[in-house]
Structure formats: C-alpha cells, structure tokens
Amino acid sequence: MRRPRKKAFRLTGERKTLLEHLVRYRYLRTSHFYDLLGAGPEISDRAVRRQLRDFWTHGHLRRRVVVSDLTCEPLPRYEHVYWLSKAGVLLARDCGICDEEFSGAARTSPRALAHDVGITDFHLRVERFARARAVLLHCSSTA
C-alpha cells in the first residue's frame, strides 16, 4: 500500500500522549486509542485516526489489520494494530519518554499480534478495574 505524501510533523501535546501510550503498552488497536485518549466530544474518533495516520505516514508507527473478536456482532470487525517502528522508538527516546534500553516491539505475524494485543486488553481491563474500585496498582519490571 502506498503511503500518502508527507507534511511537516509537529509533536504536539496530544501526539506526545499517544507516543507515551505506545511506549507503555507496545501494541494498541484503534479502539484502545479511543479509550485512552478519551475520544468523545472534545477529541473525536476521526482526530485520533488522523493522528495515528500522521505517525504512520512519517514512519514512526507500523500497523497491521487484525480481526477484532471483542464484538457480539455476527460479522467480524477489522481494526488496525499499531506499534512503534525504529524511527518511533528514536522519537520517544529524543522526547525522554523511554530510555536507551527500550527496544520497541518486534513481532509482526498475525498470531503473535493477536496474542500481544490480548495482553494489552488484559492490562487495560486490570487498570480500569483498579480505577473503578480506587485500588492502587504497583508495577514492577523484571529485566
């Protein structure tokens, strides 16, 4: 698929937030961004998709279409899954969002993506559960 012509890329506050979410969760579907960025009256779904498209057009994101199985509808729903490209990881490092050890995401096969997006779904549900019950989550990283 041919990429559209590039315009100047500015890293606004909203785009920096989008970048922070990609560093934190690594693999995110379009619907995840709607939830995380609070798409609604102030930020429309279309604005979120436009920001993602800008990141992708400038080579900061990679994406692949996957079938979303989180719907009760009889027909499948297709969504993009996004993850940072090497250029996106460099941009995040330049902004101070991640350190030198952050390598980004490497998986691109459909089955691996489905697995990794499932992990993201789980993390987001645990965070939503904790917020709803005012429970403090403690995260630790073991490298």
In a domain, 29, yes or no: yes
Question: Alpha-carbon distance 97 to 16, whole Å?
Answer: 9
pLDDT for the residue 39 = 62
Distances (CA, A) of 32 to 54, 72, 93, 117, 122: 17, 17, 23, 10, 12
Question: Alpha-carbon distance 14 to 30, whole Å?
Answer: 15
User: Could you give the angle at which helices 13-25 and 86-94 cross, rounded to 10 degrees?
Assistant: 120
In a domain, 140, yes or no: no
The tally of domains found in the chain comes to: 1
In a domain, 74, yes or no: yes
The residue range of the domain holding 123 is 13-127
In a domain, 44, yes or no: yes
In a domain, 4, yes or no: no
CATH of the domain at 116: 1.10.10.10
- As averages over each run of 10 residues, the pLDDT of the chain (143 residues) reads 66 88 91 82 80 91 81 77 91 88 74 85 90 78 48
pLDDT for the residue 142 = 47
In a domain, 108, yes or no: yes
In a domain, 141, yes or no: no
Q: Name the residue type at position 17.
A: T
pLDDT for the residue 28 = 92
In a domain, 111, yes or no: yes
pTM of the predicted structure, to 2 decimals: 0.80
